[in-house]
Chains A and B, each alone.
Chain A
């Protein structure tokens, strides 16, 4: 469904070129759920942005359903039913949540339909529908609305960049259920960048990216059992974030 071939991405820093992604090759099959994990700064978000067309790769190509989409911009990719939930969503002064979600739906929806969507991301709809998407929203609220903008669209490929960041435990559980339902009910390929074990355990396959490279791509059970083994032998650092086990492979 989505294929990434020999993809590299670098940025200029002063007089030197810094490699962010190095020779990435990945295949994402239709309707499957992929979790991408790995240490901070390893290139996960950059990969998501390259897939969505937010930044252009330095080398390599991206193919969607057999079409080379490397040269296409973000709008064209969105029109091919690709969607992306930003890790740090922007705020919009003067935009009501209703307005943003209607744009996401691509048409005016009635209040009940918007409310249903907000409930999916754990927000009490009546309290939010007419609020502005501005600084009056907390980071967690904004994040959930960002996720709702992606859920609103009937997508072929949905990418979520650390959807759990800034979200409280109760809402996180709701979010896990939402992703579960999305995977079960919709014909969408899901790619989620995450550090949360609960989300990794939803995926069909887990991809570890570190130092700009794909370190591993394997079926969830294989990779999760390996991570657990690594933990037992002390090869990885672990910590506890909000009662949910957090796994950070050291490489």
Chain B
């Protein structure tokens, strides 16, 4: 049974207004709440630890899997292990994400370890949104660790979004790309107040003609702190591009630590990183369209993090 609070959290992290169609597994306060499987997608509990295995049959196309997690019990420390096997030639969308409501004094924390194998010729789009709310003094903490292997001709599109309200996060993402595999990572992160966020993304381009693109955008407000470690290693004939942009405001601190390493003469790797405040010309332009300074700033940030 979903409460109004559950529904709100689900909407924020997975755009769900009600129980979704297709395969899903909803986890609430450390336990499975609701699950559905389809003829092509199976979800089973792990036997050795807390978590699930998601198995997508080869050739499955146009199906989605929702696996949101919601925490509404203050002080809960949740740890989950999820494994995904995306069958050959399939094309699926996975919507994950975690929403925490903490109205208490104790910290609420969700740590998730996800490992994926995207089989030969398969395409996976993975969306992970994080959101926190509640006016308790306890922190809302989310620490996802994601390991993705993309086999020959496979495609992984990863969208990592921290919407708001997460006090502390350490994101760690590792990706291994084989021949002709393709990766696109889009990261969006907003911090404010005294929040802290660390994002580490490491991509190993192992296969011939593998390609990777990481687009990371963040906004740091108030006294919040962000640090990015984006690392790409070219170990074959491959192409990789990292673009890391941050808008810094108030007394925030942003560090970007780029690293690209080539272990092959035909590896082409590019890293671009920029940190700066909102350009005054942007604000003036939107004000000249009738927006107030605050509205202009809001629109610019909204567009930047879209």
Which residues of A are at the interface with B, using a C-beta cutoff of 8 A? 52, 54, 73-75, 78-79, 83-84, 86, 88-90, 92-95, 99, 103-104, 106, 149, 153
B288–A93 CB distance below 8 A = no
Q: Are A153 and B289 in contact (CB under 8 A)?
A: yes
Cβ contact of A93, chosen from B284, B287, B291, B304, cutoff 8 A: B304
**Quick check: A75 and B285 within 8 Å, CB to CB?**
no
Which one of B286, B293, B305 has the greatest number of beta carbons of chain A within 10 Å?
A: B286
Chain A residues near B303 (CB-CB < 8 A): 92-95, 99
**In whole angstroms, what is the CA distance A90 to B289 when docked?**
14
> Beyond A90-B284, A92-B300, A103-B286: 16 further Cβ-contacts under 8 Å?
A73-B287, A74-B284, A74-B287, A75-B291, A86-B281, A86-B285, A86-B288, A90-B279, A92-B282, A93-B217, A93-B245, A94-B303, A94-B304, A94-B306, A103-B289, A149-B289
Residues of A within 8 A of B279 (CB): 90
**Distance of A106 Cα from B305 Cα, bound (Å):** 22
| Least Cβ–Cβ distance between B247 and chain A, in angstroms | 9
- How many chain B residues touch A (CB < 8 A): the figure is 21
Q: Is B34 an interface residue (CB 8 A)?
A: no
Docked complex Cα distance between A54 and B305 (Å): 27
Instruction: Return the chain B residue nearest A105 by Cβ.
Output: B289
- B residues apposed to A, CB below 8 Å: 217, 245, 279, 281-282, 284-293, 299-300, 303-306
Q: Which residues of B contact A90 (CB under 8 A)?
A: 279, 281-282, 284-285
Contacts of B286 in A (CB 8 A): 103
Q: Could you list some 17 contacts between A and B, CB below 8 A?
A: A54-B284, A54-B288, A74-B288, A75-B290, A78-B287, A83-B288, A84-B288, A88-B281, A90-B279, A90-B281, A90-B285, A93-B217, A93-B245, A94-B306, A95-B300, A103-B299, A104-B289
Set of chain B residues within 8 Å of A149, measured between Cβ atoms: 285, 289
Contact B281 A75 (CB under 8 A): no
Contacts of B288 in A (CB 8 A): 52, 54, 74, 78, 83-84, 86
Q: Which residue of A lies closest to B188 (CB)?
A: A94
Decide if B290 touches A106 in the complex (CB within 8 Å).
yes
Inter-chain contact A75/B292, CB cutoff 8 Å:
yes
A84 to B305, CA, bound (A): 27
Q: Which residues of B contact A103 (CB under 8 A)?
A: 286, 289, 291, 299
Q: Which of B282, B290, B303 has the most CB of A within 10 A?
A: B290
